[in-house]
A and B are shown apart, each in its own frame.
Chain A
Amino acid sequence: MHELSLVASVFEVLEEEARKHGARRVLAVVVRVGVMSGVVPDLLESAFETYKKGTIAEAARLEIVSVPVKLRCPDCGGEAVREDTDFSCAACGSRRVEIVEGREIVVERIELET
């Protein structure tokens, strides 16, 4: 599990943005976590709670938005969210689908107090 090192990267982003905007505190962070990213939301949350002490984000809350797998089918042009791990096109059954969402780990939004 490498959630702590990912949280360290979250804090690099927070510190950089806070400096850029002259913020005194970070109030909230929204992180999008794909279900196929290999990141466990609960672990990310505990790592965040541990890491934030004594930082500019000491009072910040972390909001994790779970992103399901979304497939795009090059054969029929369809796009659909897939709940299980059978990665085929729900419309035409094609197996050549690409995963367009669901593997990402992205800091989406930050709420700052200036």
Chain B
Amino acid sequence: MTTKTITVVRDLLATNKQAAAAIREELRGRGILCVNLLSSPGSGKTTLLEALAERFRGRLRMAVIEGDIETERDAERIRAKGVPAWQITTGGACHLEARMIGKVLGDVPAAIDLLFIENVGNLVCPASYDLGESLRFVLLSTPEGDDKPAKYPQAFLSADALIVTKADLLPYVPFDPARAAAEALSIKPSLKVFTVSAVRGAGLDGLAGFLVESLERLRSGRA
């Protein structure tokens, strides 16, 4: 009987990273810009998507993959806007994984410009899982408080853009957009920051413009 020590160095997220890389390559090949939305529950991910669906109607073709623990509610809201949507119910799991997206991808029609993935509402776990997206947005709604970036650094660190939502509530809640942005930028200096009100339409021009530019950049790099 002998004891043997083996150095293995195995990345536990390797399987997910490989699946994500395959998805990223497929979507780039199809010229689809994929955006993964991360936030706490109730910060306005679905409402933002509804507003973008109206804004892009007749201009860009959108599709949405919805992640929730239970119910089809979010997918139904998106479909009501005339946008194809697929609901993934995780049955308790706290985040989406690339493998789950891979299963839905075959159903996504070829003629799509923007594919949004609305992750399970959770500012912690989804940050660790690459879904093969081109861009990751983290949403922070004004009632949640401007102190969240430093409390949940992984989410902000992994994001490409911070979307401050529910700007229409700013007169009623103690939220300083400058403080939230400064804190998020200290974690991730390259973060783009947008402040929007999906229900009033404020700030959506800037965000929509950024999405269009990112789509053009993705497609020009495709050849």
Contacts and interface: CB of A to CB of B under 8 A. Distances in A.
B10 A106 contact: yes
Interface of A: 1-2, 5-6, 9-10, 13, 17, 21, 23-24, 27, 31, 36-39, 85-88, 95-96, 99, 103-114
Interface string B183-203: 000111110000000000000
Contacts of A111: 3-6
A85 B187 contact: yes
A9 to B, nearest CB: 5
Nearest to A113: B3
Contacts of A13: 8, 10, 12
A106 B11 contact: yes
A110 B3 CA distance: 10
B94 A1 contact: yes
Contact of B12 (A9, A85, A95): A9
Contacts of B214: none
A88 B6 contact: no
Given A9-B15, A111-B4, A86 B127 contact: no
Nearest to B151: A85
Interface of B: 1-13, 15, 93-95, 124-125, 127-128, 150, 153-154, 157, 186-190
Contact of B4 (A36, A86, A87, A114): A114
Contacts of B6: 17, 21, 109-112
A108 B12 contact: no
29 contacts: A1-B124, A2-B93, A2-B128, A13-B12, A17-B8, A36-B154, A36-B157, A38-B125, A38-B127, A38-B154, A85-B150, A85-B153, A86-B187, A87-B186, A87-B187, A88-B186, A95-B189, A96-B189, A96-B190, A105-B12, A105-B13, A106-B9, A106-B12, A107-B9, A107-B12, A108-B9, A110-B8, A112-B6, A114-B4
Contacts of A17: 6, 8
A106 to B, nearest CB: 5
Given A2-B125, A113-B2, A108 B7 contact: yes
